[in-house]
Structure 1
Amino acid sequence: MLDTPTRRGDARSRIVDVAARLLREQGPAAVTTRGVAEAAGVQAPAIYRLFGDKDGLLEAVAEHVLATHVSTKAALVRAASAGDVDPLEDLRAGWDAQVEFGLANPAVFRLLSDPDRAWRSPAAEAGRRVLESRVHRVALAGRLRVGERHAVEVIHAAGTGVVQTLLSTPAEQRDAGLAASVYEAVARQVLTDAPGSAPGGPTAAAVALRALAPRLDVLSAAERALLTEWLDRVIDAT
């Protein structure tokens, strides 16, 4: 029987699904080419042909698991944007979901937290875009006291650190309130109490206008670019 692209795709999906289950239930050590091949009903050489080696298989599995998670997050952000969901509540819900994902998928989290892997992961990049969308909604609401990019970096770094700390601690010794405490600390750094209130004040207003600038069709493209440049200077100076 011919080895068609469809058959190869079916085999690849089956192998990734089996390996994802083994990774979730037993950890990376359980994802052996022989064990995965037997569970997936394929010959071991097929894994080498499709993924190169075990490391390639693990990367494919991590990418698959994270991509599924990110697609769910993206759908929630779209729904929040279309509805009346408070952007701050949506940001906090995203934080909680990401921490829960990391704790539920430690092997995947560790694989994609490796800087050498993360920068070339499409799913990780998609996840960052979801966070950027959430932060952008907060900026539009006038509740961001720092620039969007800085806020994204702070939130991402803090979330990664929380999960890494919890995963490095025995489950029975973990601080159940750590994630909430860190989020509150992050919120004090990047969020204002209310639109236009001190101490966010002018900076929060500048950030909100910066988020809105690309939509100001009453201005020319050159004028929007100039306005954006001015606002960036205001934000960076505060």
Structure 2
Amino acid sequence: MAPPPPADESDATLAGREQTRHRVIEAAAGLLAREGRDAVTTRAVAVAAGVQAPAIYRLFGDKEGLLEAVAEYGFTKFLASKRVDPDPPDPIEDLRAGWDLAVEFGLANPALYTLMYGEPSTFASPAFQAGMEILKGRIRRLAAGGWLRVGEELAIAIIHATARGAVLTWLSLPEERRDPVLLTTLRESMVTAVTVLEPAVRDAGPAGAARALRAALPEQTTLSGPERELLKEWLDRLAADG
């Protein structure tokens, strides 16, 4: 974890510190991409960035702090590549496109991707969380349209697991065994696991969802009679608003 800057630093000093920090992170990311994680030593990074080794400790605390910063750099880079459509014409194709983008990023940046997703602490990354909000938005649109086969949290877990598994499996294979059909099959397996062929909700919005659930209510046995009657009243009120 990087130490906080001294409280009495001037704006110019802070700007210079941030420029140096960014230069060190880019140098470390370059070493990681070219030579792998073992090459990212404080001495090698200092040489590549044109700074003294003690500067790295002042900026990042230790090597692990530097690697956390490089992972955050990776998440920020990935976030910048995402295309967000708040109202896609086809939400399932939008899901496919998002999955493809994640896999393509991993295949194009193998060492960086492995660092990003190989450390549990990186999931607290602000850029990672911002990316998660984009994915949650995609899943929420699928759910609102009646396309979701499973719960939202499980859908997110399946999407992450299949994308990461696709990247790591592909990277582990010898080049002559890397068949693009593997990636397509994993993506379509994800789509099948997460979505349904026909939307359960014909009309978008809460009223349409309420009508769809209201129609299925008599067939379910999880709730007690009084609970079903209460839920029916709520659904009727929501459906009437549409």
TM-score range, shorter chain: 0.7 to 0.9
Please list the CA deviations of residues 83-110 of structure 1 after superposition, one character each: whole Å capped at 9, or x if unmatched.
x542111110110011111112222222
Tell me the residue number matched to 1:109.
113
Tell me the residue number matched to 1:36.
45
Tell me the residue number matched to 1:152.
156
Q: CA deviation at 1:159?
A: 1.4
Q: Distance in 2 between matches of 1:72 and 1:137?
A: 21
User: Is the 2:68–2:122 Cα contact (8 Å) retained in structure 1?
Assistant: no
User: Is the 1:66–1:108 Cα contact (8 Å) retained in structure 2?
Assistant: no
Please list the CA deviations of residues 152-203 of structure 1 after superposition, one character each: whole Å capped at 9, or x if unmatched.
1111112111112112222332232112101211222221112239xxx9xx
Tell me the residue number matched to 1:19.
28
Unaligned runs of 5+ in 1: 211-225, 232-238
Tell me the residue number matched to 2:5.
none
User: Which structure 2 residues correspond to residues 1-238 of structure 1 after superposition, within 5 A?
Assistant: 4-73=13-82, 76-77=83-84, 80-82=85-87, 84-114=88-118, 116-196=120-200, 209=209
TM-score for both structures, normalised by structure 1: 0.74
Code of the aligned partner of 2:78: H
Please list the CA deviations of residues 60-115 of structure 1 after superposition, one character each: whole Å capped at 9, or x if unmatched.
11211221211331xx11xx115x54211111011001111111222222222235
Q: Distance in 2 between matches of 1:108 and 1:100?
A: 13
Runs of 4+ in 1 over 4 A off after TM superposition: none
SS of 1:177's equivalent? Answer: helix
Which moves more between the two structures, 155-164 or 115-124?
115-124
SS of 2:173's equivalent? Answer: coil
Q: Distance in 2 between matches of 1:27 and 1:177?
A: 28
Q: Distance in 2 between matches of 1:23 and 1:194?
A: 45
Q: CA distance change for structure 1 residues 64 and 117 in 2, over 3 Å: closer, same or farther?
A: same
Q: CA deviation at 1:122?
A: 2.5
Tell me the residue number matched to 1:216.
none
Which moves more between the two structures, 22-31 or 88-97?
22-31
Unaligned runs of 5+ in 2: 1-9, 211-229, 236-242
Which moves more between the two structures, 96-105 or 171-180?
171-180
User: Is the 2:91–2:141 Cα contact (8 Å) retained in structure 1?
Assistant: yes
TM-score for both structures, normalised by structure 2: 0.73
Q: CA deviation at 1:50?
A: 0.7
Q: CA distance change for structure 1 residues 34 and 115 in 2, over 3 Å: closer, same or farther?
A: closer
User: Is the 1:111–1:117 Cα contact (8 Å) retained in structure 2?
Assistant: no
User: Is the 1:23–1:31 Cα contact (8 Å) retained in structure 2?
Assistant: yes
Q: Distance in 2 between matches of 1:104 and 1:150?
A: 27
